[in-house]
């Protein structure tokens, strides 16, 4: 009986060992699965890490505009010096606002013209045509007391009312101050002295014709 009991005990020990081995094997298999799970998690991590570069790429464009913005800011800083120097260059014309050649359209004086001839208008008795040129005041010469009126060189014809208010100075009248004269007196003088280019300041009426013409005194 003792022998049987010992055998049974041996069998029980062997069975217990087998059960323990199976349990340990199951645990190791669980560990392997968890390892695989962590590996898949690592794969998720790798996806996350791959998302991180895209996120990093998202940050890079965000960073690059800020860098590029700072770069133009720096480049703007350098032109600011020339820009500050620009007014100094503009100060030169303001110090000497005169034309040394035929003026451009932008430089033409909007209120003054040089008068060369006066023509009658066929079929119209209340108006005459002034043959004139636009221009701007030039730079004074060494041998002159005043600045010349530099013209564009292109004739224009503007109608003037026969009843216009006209004033004149020398050489039309013997005065350096404006004297009122009639339109016919002006016509007679201009006919006797064509292409004189005397300078006049004019005002246009509602009908588009000149209604006021005042000679500008030039020494």
What domain count does the chain have? 2
Helix (H) or strand (E) holding 215: strand 210-215
Render pLDDT for 175-210 as a digit per residue (tens, 0 to 9): 999 999 999 999 999 999 999 999 999 999 999 999
Looking at the structure, tell me whether residues 69 and 133 fall in a common domain: no
Q: Which domain holds residue 28?
A: 1-95
CB proximity list for 101: less than 8 A, separation 6 or greater: 150
pTM for the complete prediction? Answer: 0.55
Render pLDDT for 17-39 as a digit per residue (tens, 0 to 9): 555 555 445 544 544 444 444 44
Specify the pLDDT at position 173: 97
- CA-to-CA distance for 203 and 131, rounded, in angstroms? 16
- CA-to-CA distance for 84 and 118, rounded, in angstroms? 50
Residue 101 lies in a domain: no
Residue 105 lies in a domain: no
Looking at the structure, tell me whether residues 70 and 136 fall in a common domain: no
Specify the pLDDT at position 43: 43
**Cβ atoms of residues 197 and 115 within 8 Å:** yes
Can you list the residues of the chain whose pLDDT is less than 70? 1-97, 144
**Cβ atoms of residues 98 and 138 within 8 Å:** yes
Residue 103 lies in a domain: no
Looking at the structure, tell me whether residues 79 and 24 fall in a common domain: yes
Helix (H) or strand (E) holding 131: strand 127-137
- CA-to-CA distance for 169 and 215, rounded, in angstroms? 6
Tell me which long-range contacts 104-113 makes (C-beta under 8 A, separation of at least 24). Answer: 107/136, 108/134, 108/135, 108/136, 108/152, 109/134, 109/135, 109/136, 109/137, 111/201, 111/202, 112/149, 112/199, 112/200, 112/201, 112/202, 112/216, 113/156, 113/158, 113/199, 113/200, 113/202
Looking at the structure, tell me whether residues 160 and 189 fall in a common domain: yes
Q: Is 107 exposed, middle or buried (0-12, 13-18, 19+ CB in 10 A)?
A: middle
């Amino acid at each position: 009986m003792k022998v049987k009991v010992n055998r049974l005990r041996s069998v029980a020990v062997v069975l217990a060992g087998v059960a323990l081995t199976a349990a340990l094997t199951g645990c190791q298999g669980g560990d392997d699965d968890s390892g695989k799970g962590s590996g898949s998690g690592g794969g998720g991590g790798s996806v996350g890490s791959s998302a991180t570069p895209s996120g990093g790429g998202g940050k890079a464009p965000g960073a690059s505009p800020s860098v590029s913005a700072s770069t133009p800011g720096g480049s703007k800083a350098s032109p600011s010096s020339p820009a500050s120097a620009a007014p100094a260059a503009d100060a030169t014309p303001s110090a000497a606002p005169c034309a040394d050649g035929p003026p451009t359209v932008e430089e033409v004086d909007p209120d003054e013209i040089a008068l060369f001839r006066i023509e009658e208008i066929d079929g119209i008795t209340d108006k005459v045509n002034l043959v004139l040129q636009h221009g701007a005041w030039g730079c004074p010469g060494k041998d002159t007391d005043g600045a010349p009126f530099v013209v564009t060189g292109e004739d224009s014809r503007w109608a003037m009312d026969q009843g216009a208010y006209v004033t004149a100075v020398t050489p039309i009248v013997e005065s350096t101050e404006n004297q009122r004269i009639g339109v016919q007196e002006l016509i007679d003088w201009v006919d006797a002295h064509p292409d004189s280019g005397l300078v006049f300041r004019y005002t246009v009426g509602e009908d588009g014709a000149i209604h006021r013409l005042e000679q500008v005194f030039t020494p």
